[in-house]
Structure 1
Amino acid sequence: MTALRRYPVLVALAVGALFMVLPFALVVLNAVKSPADYSAHGPLSLPRGLHLDGLRDFWQRVDFGRKLLNSVLISGSAAIGAAVLSVLNAYAIGIGRIRGRAWVLAFFVLANTLPQEALVYPLYHLSKQAGLYDTRLSVIIVFTVIQAAFGTYLLSSVLGRFPREIIEAARIDGAGRWQVLWRIVIPVSRPTIGVLLVFFFVWTWNEFLLPLVMLISNDNQTVSVALGVLQGQRLMDATMTNAAALLGVLPAVVFFLVFQRTLTRGIAVGAVK
């Protein structure tokens, strides 16, 4: 009976996976079609041959190699910076038990609810005043702080339940605050931190509005901005549009697959706790 009860769940999961994979599969199929093949047989047919001109033309048109490097640099730096900042903040709030802890956590919750549209003009003005406008550093700083707000709230709730006996035992053995952090707290919280790193990277990679406003030079733009600008110029046919979408999403998919074990391990550890 238990096995029979599992079949509806497995069928539902398989159908859900199919609906999630199908759009990506259509993008891949149409990205390797020729414009004539697409016009003659439509978007749902199999390609009659391997046509890579759309991928090559899009790569050259937007200088995709530079855009890819910018996105990797911004997303990676923001993910690492946000994770470090989240750990330090959560250590002070969750284990250090600073005064007004509830109010501080409420502030971070409020920061997570603010729409990015409300931040555009203040960030634009501040970056102008600081001389950081149209630099990758400005976007890295912005997304580090934005992502750290969520990371601080999540890790604070995790570290707030950290066994106090372990910390007290380490302090009795002569460990200072930094030693407790680096030798006890971080190793135990490593799965959760790994999950945050994956999410921070993917979230930053997919951001469009703030990079569009903060990065106006072609040499500093990210992949998402390049895709949006080209769509607005209406310079691409259907096959090149799919080629652009494939090149834009493929690095994030590869990153997610590479770190899938880290993500699964972090979720499993959190469930056990």
Structure 2
Amino acid sequence: MSATTAIITGSPKRRNRRRRTPTDWIVLACVVILAAIVLFPFVVILINAFKSPEDYATGGPLQLPTSFYVDGIAAFWDRVNFPQKLWNSFFISGVVAVVAVVVSVLNAYAIGIGRVRGRVPLILVFLLANMLPQEVLLYPLYTIFRAVGLYDNVWSVIITFVVIQSAFGTYLLASVFGTFPKEIIEAAALDGAGRWRTLWRVIVPVSRPTLGVLMVFFFIWTWNEFLIPLTFLISGENQTVPVAISVLQGDRLMDVTTTSASALLGLLPTLIFFLIFQRTLSRGITAGAVK
């Protein structure tokens, strides 16, 4: 086909492009409106984090700052020893994410592929563990951790969240492993692979996208947890970022701009973590759609 003919008739891609209908534009407008509603609180926090108390008093929360004010961020950073709180949150969330995924894989392998007896009741037990409110667990866990000497220790929070997150991971992965092709497992057995080798050399590599999604979610969920860390981490050197923000607001009077600065500093690590592992999430979500 000559260049003139291509220009007259149009390229195949251009001919096959579907023209947008009014319904498409309505859906697009709804998505834009919902995105604006979701982003609005973050924009307000960002504006007020770099605004002086005088600017806030005269212009309100929605007016742009007249000058770049960072004293609120510096004040919060110094008051709570933010690097230590950041490390505590990162350490707790990272350990929980890794260990909970490993425990979930082992449990789901026994339930979904090993076909242990009472498989359905076991799955229901794990489902029930996810439905229990955290308030029900506070007093029994408090008694146990006081007795074993883990109260006001980061490992009390780590152990609690490993159990909670692995309960959800086991419930999810058990259904995933239950549909795993038996032919692949039988082929591995014919090649001389035992159960342990089949798990780590066959099942885990195939399930890596799903495990990556679980690990990212476990990290973010644990990072944002508030009630259990507030109950079991009472000393300042063991507190996490969300607890430090709330305790500081209750202990001392803070202006709105410093509060916004603390919220911004608490939000940035999870946002950065999400952006870094965004491709892991997208691959894991779309893994089941492509054979």
In the superposition, the TM-score normalised over structure 2's length comes to 0.92
Matched, 1:165 2:183: yes
Shift of residue 8, structure 1, vs aligned partner: 2.0
Counterpart position of 2:20: 3
Shift of residue 6, structure 1, vs aligned partner: 2.5
SS in 2 for 1:3: coil
Contact preservation (8 Å) 1:90, 1:153: yes
Distance 1:188 1:202 in 2: 24
1:42-89 CA distances to partner (integer Å, 9 max, x unpaired)?
100111111000000000001111000000000110111101100110
Counterpart position of 2:213: 195
SS in 1 for 2:192: coil
Matched, 1:78 2:96: yes
Distance 1:216 1:143 in 2: 17
1:246 partner amino acid: L
Distance 1:117 1:167 in 2: 42
Distance 2:30 2:103 in 1: 39
Number of residue equivalences: 273
Partner of residue 175 from structure 1, selected from 193, 198, 218? 193
SS in 2 for 1:13: helix
Shift of residue 271, structure 1, vs aligned partner: 3.7
Distance 2:105 2:27 in 1: 37
Distance 2:31 2:173 in 1: 30
Partner of residue 119 from structure 1, selected from 119, 129, 137? 137
Distance 1:98 1:7 in 2: 52
Distance 2:19 2:129 in 1: 45
Counterpart position of 1:219: 237
SS in 1 for 2:30: helix
Distance 1:173 1:95 in 2: 18
Shift of residue 270, structure 1, vs aligned partner: 2.9
Counterpart position of 2:157: 139
Superposition CA RMSD, Å: 1.1
1:17 partner amino acid: A
5+ residue gaps, structure 2, are 1-17
Shift of residue 233, structure 1, vs aligned partner: 2.5
Counterpart position of 1:263: 281
Distance 1:157 1:270 in 2: 13
Contact preservation (8 Å) 1:192, 1:270: no
Map 1:223-242 to 2 at 5 A: 223-242=241-260
Contact preservation (8 Å) 1:82, 1:144: yes
In the superposition, the TM-score normalised over structure 1's length comes to 0.97
Matched, 1:101 2:119: yes
2:127 partner amino acid: V
SS in 1 for 2:230: helix
Counterpart position of 1:45: 63
5+ residue gaps, structure 1, are none
Partner of residue 77 from structure 2, selected from 45, 53, 59? 59
Counterpart position of 2:9: none
**Consecutive aligned runs of 4 or more in structure 1 exceeding 4 Å deviation:** none
Counterpart position of 2:11: none
Counterpart position of 2:105: 87
Percent identity (aligned): 60
Matched, 1:253 2:271: yes
Distance 1:82 1:226 in 2: 25
Shift of residue 40, structure 1, vs aligned partner: 0.8
Distance 2:220 2:259 in 1: 22
Matched, 1:25 2:43: yes
Shift of residue 16, structure 1, vs aligned partner: 1.1
Distance 1:43 1:234 in 2: 21
Shift of residue 234, structure 1, vs aligned partner: 4.5
Larger deviation, residues 10-19 vs 191-200:
10-19
Distance 1:101 1:76 in 2: 30
Contact preservation (8 Å) 1:64, 1:223: yes
